[in-house]
Amino acid sequence: MRKYWLIILQCLISVLLIWHLLGNETLRSEAVRVIKSANPLLLVAGFGTAVLCELLCALRWWFMLRAFGTPVSFARTCAFCGAGLFFSLSLPGGAGGDAFRIIYVMRLYPKRRLRAALSVLADRLCGLAALVLSLGFSLAFHRNLFDFDPSSHAILTAAILMLGSVVVLVLLWWLSSLPQLHALWFPFTPARIQKRAIRMGRVFSSLTKQPKLVAVALLTSIAALSVHFTTYFCSARAFKLPLSLMDIFTIMPIVETLILLPITLYGVGLRETLFEHLLGGMFHIPHGAATLTSLGGFGLQAAVGLLGGLLIPFTTPSINLSSSMAAKNHPPILANKEVG
């Protein structure tokens, strides 16, 4: 039971935040009014951008798989990503989808477990890099918008501190993977941790050997994040909110950064609270409409994730493919030499 305490706490916080948001009579009446005037065609468009985002994420991971010498086909990579997305939504915990992706690759390449794990890790690092760039874009062009509202400014500061801390930790991780620096910290760490740190640190050395694939994956990650933000723009426009695409691009890096905190389940409740403060404080959007925009965007994402369950049957390797992969991982023993 103890291992579920965090999940239970996340569920409780999500429920409390949603109850707090929707417990306001004014907010509920505003939400009802906005729903009645919603444009369903824009919600369909948002669903399309959500699908495109997941396809781009699959393409990014496909590049990383190739970078680590694990040539999975793009079609099968899409199936793995779709099934992983489904499990990340249907199972508690945020890392469930990544775990299933690794397992699926390991079924094809049993001897490449580490490469499978490193490819997912590199995929996440590309996503982090795109998020850092998007936050930098928001600060470079729209920093002044946050100065007009103390609440928005505080949220921005929290996002900068959090993302900056993550970047520093990744930088330290990279430095610790350099052979020249092993002597500085390995004497003070247990042998088991040393071995694991060296193995996981290979992600950086492997990426430096494939600069072209890394560059393409990073560009793909930026495109995927932009399309992801566009899903929330479609949600906002579907509910007739007077927001531009750049307005959504301004707040979304902050929102995506802070919902990485394991406070609520899938960010539900926290995401809506951030939308309420940012859209309300910076663009004077009514709280009910801001909450619906957030729920609409997440709902479109969740719909795509649930449909990913349809791809689970396509994650099972065929008999011919399994035998082929086994032959590559276990070369046959040579027969006796022919008699001349």
Amino acid identity, position 159: A
Measure CA 183 to chain center: 35
Q: Where are the domains of the chain?
A: 38-316
The pLDDT assigned to 134 comes to 94
Structure-token pair, residue 275: 């939308």
Element (H, E) at 213: helix 211-238
Question: CB–CB of 218/124 below 8 Å?
Answer: no
Residue 195 has pLDDT above 80, yes or no: no
Which residue bears the tokens 């193995």? 199
Taking the C-alpha atoms of residue 94 and residue 80, their distance in angstroms, rounded to an integer, is 16
Residue 331 has pLDDT above 60, yes or no: no
Residue 24 has pLDDT above 80, yes or no: no
CA distances from 196 to 96, 177, 199 (A): 21, 11, 5
Residue 268 DSSP SS3: coil
Residue 185 has pLDDT above 60, yes or no: no
The pLDDT assigned to 106 comes to 87
The residues, any chain, with a CB within 8 Å of residue 255's CB and separated by 6 or more, are 271, 274, 275, 278
Least confident span in 74-83, 156-165, 256-265: 256-265
Report angle CA 39, 41, 47 to the nearest 5 degrees.
115
Taking the C-alpha atoms of residue 198 and residue 201, their distance in angstroms, rounded to an integer, is 5
Question: CB–CB of 291/56 below 8 Å?
Answer: no
Query: Which range, 178-187, 245-254, 330-339, has the best average confidence (pLDDT)?
Result: 245-254
pTM attached to this predicted model? 0.82
Residue 215 has pLDDT above 90, yes or no: yes
The pLDDT assigned to 155 comes to 92
More confidently predicted of 290 and 174? 290
Residue 135 has pLDDT above 60, yes or no: yes
Which residue bears the tokens 């910076």? 282
- In the chain, % helix, strand, coil (3-state, to 5) comes to 80, 0, 20
Question: CB–CB of 282/63 below 8 Å?
Answer: no
Taking the C-alpha atoms of residue 107 and residue 310, their distance in angstroms, rounded to an integer, is 19
Least confident span in 10-19, 172-181, 259-268, 288-297: 10-19
Which residue bears the tokens 């489904």? 86
Residue 115 has pLDDT above 70, yes or no: yes
Closest CA to 265 of 11, 45, 64: 11
The pLDDT assigned to 332 comes to 40
The residues, any chain, with a CB within 8 Å of residue 272's CB and separated by 6 or more, are 17, 18, 21, 290, 291, 294, 295
Taking the C-alpha atoms of residue 98 and residue 85, their distance in angstroms, rounded to an integer, is 8
The pLDDT assigned to 3 comes to 53
Rounded to an integer, the average pLDDT of 203-217 is 85
Structure-token pair, residue 57: 């994420």
More confidently predicted of 334 and 23? 23
Taking the C-alpha atoms of residue 222 and residue 6, their distance in angstroms, rounded to an integer, is 32
Rounded to an integer, the average pLDDT of 82-109 is 78
Residue 183 has pLDDT above 70, yes or no: no
Structure-token pair, residue 156: 């921005």
Confidence of residue 260 (pLDDT cuts 50, 70, 90): confident
Taking the C-alpha atoms of residue 61 and residue 76, their distance in angstroms, rounded to an integer, is 11
Q: What is the DSSP letter of 68?
A: T
Least confident span in 52-56, 213-217, 259-263, 284-288: 259-263
Report angle CA 55, 166, 2 to the nearest 5 degrees.
85
The pLDDT assigned to 334 comes to 35
First-last CA distance in the chain: 69
Taking the C-alpha atoms of residue 9 and residue 309, their distance in angstroms, rounded to an integer, is 27
Question: CB–CB of 246/142 below 8 Å?
Answer: yes
Q: What are phi and psi of 336, to 5 degrees?
A: -60, 150
